[in-house]
Amino acid sequence: MGILEFDKVSLELDGHRILNNLSLDFWEGHVHAVVGPNGAGKSTLAMTIMGLSGYEHHEGDILFKGKSLKGLTVNERARLGITLAWQEPARFEGLGVSAFIGAGKPGASVQELDAALELVGLSPERYRSRRVDKTLSGGERKRIELASIIVMDPEIVLMDEPDSGVDIEAVNYIFSVIDQLKEKGTTIILITHSAEVLRRSDHAFLLCHGNLMDKGPTDRMLAYFGGKCIPCTHKNAPELTELFAGKGGAQ
């Protein structure tokens, strides 16, 4: 039994089936990757786990430590220890960096907040009093979001395209945080198009149009980033559209 289980989960949005009868087990303390072409349902899977508005009414069940998440709000799931790092971190005009980082752990000390900033490579003296607004770059906002996750100390972290739109320095800090969270026993789920991010995982799932096509070790899944997809007759098969080939990673 995994810490998080999908039991025949299906989801329709605007009349389209986005997730189709998915049964998945995410093992505690492991780094899992979810890969697949555009429209595969990867980000939808993450938003369904969090129970975001529009994604909570699905068939089947999602179990956390053997108990159903059905009917639980986003905040209730967060209190259980499940959190999502967005592909595009939100801006909160007027909200201070320290307040943002400490929001998931009321009463966190200044020392805890500063230590989290240092772990993501941001100087507390420079960033503690700044605002989470347009003056911050995308990479800075992603690192600040990661600092908030470190302080929160969740049991499951979902990361949607963690390396998207950030520079190499930020990517290296993101990978460092992934390693540190794994060492603490945190379960991490990486939603990704990137072969480099996939290499940080222990295990991966391949989705295509809401279906589970394959699952297994990272090394085997890396083959899909070279255009070697599961043979099928779907119109988006790589041999027809070259979805995967020649782009440095799956699309």
Structural domains of the chain sorted by starting position, each given as residue range(s) with its CATH number in brackets: 4-241 (3.40.50.300)
Q: What is the mean pLDDT of residues 220-240?
A: 63
What's the pLDDT score for residue 231?
A: 60
172: Cα separation from own chain's centroid: 17
Q: Is the pLDDT of residue 236 over 90?
A: no
Across 165-169, 224-228, 243-247, least confident range:
243-247
Question: According to the model, what pLDDT value does residue 193 have?
Answer: 87
Which pLDDT value is given to residue 247?
37
Burial environment of residue 232 by CB neighbours within 10 A (0 to 12, 13 to 18, 19 or more)? middle
pLDDT averaged over every residue in the chain? 86
Give the distance from CA 3 to its chain's centroid. Answer: 16
Average pLDDT value for residue range 114-127: 94
Residue type for position 54: G
Please report the pLDDT score of residue 250 as a whole number. Answer: 37
Confidence bin at 34 (pLDDT 50/70/90): very high
CA angle 138, 245, 222 (to 5 degrees): 75
pLDDT at 39: 85
Neighbours of 120 (CB within 10 A): 23
Kind plus residue range of the DSSP H or E element containing 216 = strand 211-217
Torsion sign (Cα): 76, 81, 82, 84: positive
**pLDDT for 65-92, tens place per residue?**
999 999 999 999 999 999 998 766 555 6
More confidently predicted of 55 and 226: 55
192, amino acid identity: T
Where does the pLDDT of residue 138 fall: very low under 50, low under 70, confident under 90, or very high at 90 and above? confident
Q: Mean pLDDT across the stretch 4-33?
A: 95
Determine which of 58-62, 190-194, 234-238, 245-249 has the lowest per-residue pLDDT on average.
245-249
Q: What is the dihedral of CA 98, 102, 107, 112, to 10 degrees?
A: -80
Question: d(Cα 88, Cα 61) in Å, to the nearest integer?
Answer: 28
Q: Please state, for a pLDDT cut of 70, what percent of the chain lies above it.
A: 86
Kindly state the tokens that stand for 82: 């499940």
Q: What is residue 135's predicted lDDT score, i.e. its pLDDT?
A: 87
pLDDT of the residue at 12: 95
Q: Per-residue confidence at 142, pLDDT binned at 50, 70, 90?
A: confident
Among 20-34, 61-75, 101-115, the range scoring the smallest mean pLDDT is 101-115
Q: In which band, very low, low, confident or very high, does the pLDDT at 192 lie, cut at 50, 70 and 90?
A: very high
Residue with tokens 């700044």: 130
